[in-house]
Structure 1
C-alpha cells in the first residue's frame, strides 16, 4: 500500500510545485514539508501538529483529506511502535548494571585525585613553595621604627624573616612586626618546603 509521504510528494511533483512555493501558500515550513514527504512524522512538533500539517497539505494539493488522514494515523502508529522498542532497548542496555556507571565515576575520581597528588609532590621536589609579600613594598619609605611584614606562602612551608622562624597560618598567611633603626633596612624572607627547596625574597625599605 502506498504511503502518505509518497502520495503527497508525487502529487506535488505532478503539479510541478516547489516546497518553497507551498510554504508561502500554506504557511507550513519547508523543513516540516520535507519531513512529511520523507515519512519522518516523529520529527514534527507533535502528533496534532503533524495531523494538521498533513490535512492542510492534502487540501492544498486537492487530495481526499479523509483518505490521507486515515493513512496518516495508521503510519504514525506504526512509526511509534518502531521507535519505542528501540528506545527501551537502549534504556535497558544502560540499566542492566546500575552500579557500573557509579563504579566508573569512582575509579575516574580516584585516578584524578592520585594524579593531582603526584603532580604537587613532583612540583615540590623541583621548586620551592610559593611566596608573596604584600607589605611593605620594595623601596617603600617607612615613617616609624616598626615595620609590619605581611604575605602568603604554602601553609606547610617553614618561613623565616631575617633568620627568625615565623608562624604561618592555616591559609598560608603570615604577619610579623620588626623594630628597625632609621636608615635603609634590608629584609630577607625565606620559605622552605619539606624537601628542602627554598623560595627567597630580599627587599629594602627606608626608615625615617
Structure 2
C-alpha cells in the first residue's frame, strides 16, 4: 500500500506543481514538503503540526483531507508501534497518583490547547491562498483547435481570472471559459484570489499548431 507521502508526491507531479509553487500556495516550507513526501517524519515538528501540514497540502491538491489524514494516522501509529522498544513492567507502583486537582489541571490544559488549535486553524484557513485545480489543460500542450476550453475548480468564495479577465465561479467552485488561441505559443495565467486578497496562480503554455 502506498504511503501518504507517495500519494501526495504522485498527485503533485501529476498536476505539474513544483515544490516552490506548493510552498508559496500553502506557506509550508519546501524542506517540510520534501520530508512529508519521503515519509521522513523525524525531520518534521510534532504530530499535530504534521497533520496540519498534510491537511493543507492535500486540500491544495484537491484531495480528500479526511481520507489522507486517516491514512496518515494509521501509518504513523503503526510506525510508532514498530519502533517502540519493549518496556518491562515495573516492580513497584508509580509514585505519581491521580488527584482531583490534577484531573482539573489536565482538563484545563486540554481545553486551552483545543481553543488555541481551533483559532490557529481558523487563522490559517482565512490567510491560506485558495485551492486551485486546473482540469483542462492539465499541463503544457500542443493543439490544432482555435478554441481551448479551460475549466477547473477553486474555493466557491474566490474570484478567478484568466489572463486578467474575470470569469464566473459557480456555487460548487467550478469555472469554465472558452479561450481563443492564436497560432504559435499562447500563455494562460489562471489566478484564484480569496476574499482577503490571497492568490494562487497556475500558468499553462499552449501551442496552437496549423
Question: What range describes the TM-score normalised by the shorter chain of this pair?
Answer: 0.3 to 0.5
Answer 1 or 2: which has greater helix percent: 1
TM-score by length of 2: 0.42
Larger radius of gyration: 1
TM-score by length of 1: 0.42
